[in-house]
Homo-oligomer: A and B are copies of this chain.
Amino acid sequence: MTGLDARTLAPHFSRMKAQYDDPAQCPVRNVLDQLADKWSVLIVTTLAERPHRFGELKRAIGDISQRMLTQTLRELQANGMIERTVFPTTPPSVEYRLSPLGRSFLTPLAALVEWAYANHPAIRAAREDFARAA
């Protein structure tokens, strides 16, 4: 039902664990760090729709501070997930769009999103049971 069992996945997880002691070198840790940041995910999913300008992104996300938006955009850019294009108009205009790498990331991200929606009821139920037991 899960498609893959623990045995099938073991090699991946072992590799991951083997390298976790050097976080900077661990691919999984890098991806996780990116995912860990809720702003990154929100930005990536917003850009999945279409390219956005700085102000557009800020309005689209709503409650992100300017500081966090700038900072997260730089990280995503540094990791090659998004491309930044400056149009030398007056006033200046900057467009952000997903790079091919960033678009390829949408696939595993979608798997996660689907799992989350499919299992959210189970998680909520588990929380209530746990709270009752405590």
Contacts and interface: CB of A to CB of B under 8 A. Distances in A.
B107 A3 contact: yes
A interface majority secondary structure: helix
Nearest to A20: B42
Given A78-B130, A101-B123, A127-B78, A115 B2 contact: no
Interface residues of A, number: 66
A94 interface: no
A62 B21 CA distance: 9
A55 interface: no
A126 interface: yes
Contacts of A131: 78
Interface string A63-103: 10000000000000111100000000000000000100101
Given A20-B42, A77-B130, A78-B130, 14 more contacts: A2-B103, A4-B107, A17-B42, A17-B46, A21-B63, A27-B119, A27-B120, A31-B112, A35-B35, A79-B126, A80-B127, A104-B115, A108-B111, A111-B112
Interface of A: 1-6, 8-10, 12-13, 15-17, 20-21, 23, 27-32, 35-38, 41-42, 45-46, 48-49, 62-63, 77-80, 98, 101, 103-117, 119-120, 122-123, 125-127, 129-131
